[in-house]
Amino acid sequence: MINFCFSWGYWALASWMPTLLAKRGLSTPEGLNFIAISAVFMFPGYISASYLTGRFGRKPTMLVYVFVAAIAGFGFANSTTMNQMYFWNFTLSFFSLGAWGVWNTWMGEIYTTNLRSAGVAWGVSMQRVANAVAPVVIGAMLATSSFLQTVTFISSFLAITFFTVMFLPETEGEILH
C-alpha cells in the first residue's frame, strides 16, 4: 500500500508537472526552469532525512517528511501566486524525496529474512504499477479537471501514505530477523 500510494503521489505529479504548470500559465521555458529549481531542493531533503533517521529513527522521520510533503502538495494545489507555487513545490520536493530516502532503507527492514526479498519485490512491483497507471489516470483527469482538483487528488495519495506508515514498526537499531 505504501509503495503504491507513495509512488503514485510522487510519480503522477512529476510526470505531468510541465502540463500542470502550463495550466497555471507558465510557458515551456518557465515550466522547465521551475522544475529544474525544484529539483535542487531534493538533495538537501535526502541529506537531512538521512541525518534525522540516524538521530530519531526511521518511523518518526518518515512520518514527518511524508506529512509535510502531503501538506505541501495540498498547498501547491491551492497556490494562487507564483511565489506560493515555488514555496510549496520546493517544500514538496525537499520532503517527498527525503521520505523516499528513508523508505528505500526501511522497506527491506520491515520483513523477516525469509520474506525480505519477496516483500521488497512485491513493494517495488506496486511502485511500477503506480508508475504506469498514475500518468494515464492523471492525463485523463487533466482533460476535464482543474489544476486544484488534479493536484489535490495526487496529494491525497501522500496523505494515505502517511496514515499507512503509522502502523509500521520502527526498525532503527533493531536486529533484523
Write the CATH number for 25: 1.20.1250.20
Domain contains 173: no
pLDDT at 62 over 90: yes
Domain contains 177: no
| pLDDT, average across residues 40-60 | 95
Domain contains 24: yes
Residue 173 confidence (pLDDT): 84
Show Cβ contacts of residue 104 under 8 Å, excluding neighbours closer than 6 positions: none
What are 122-152's pLDDT values in tens digits?
999 999 999 999 999 999 999 999 999 999 9
Residue 3 confidence (pLDDT): 95
Domain contains 170: no
Domain range for 17: 2-165
At residue 71 the predicted structure's pLDDT band, cuts being 50, 70 and 90, is very high
Domain contains 174: no
Contact of 37 with 71, CB cutoff 8 Å: no
Domain contains 171: no
Q: pTM for the full model? A: 0.92
Domain contains 176: no
Domain contains 37: yes
- Give how many domains the chain has, as a whole number: 1
Residue 10 confidence (pLDDT): 87
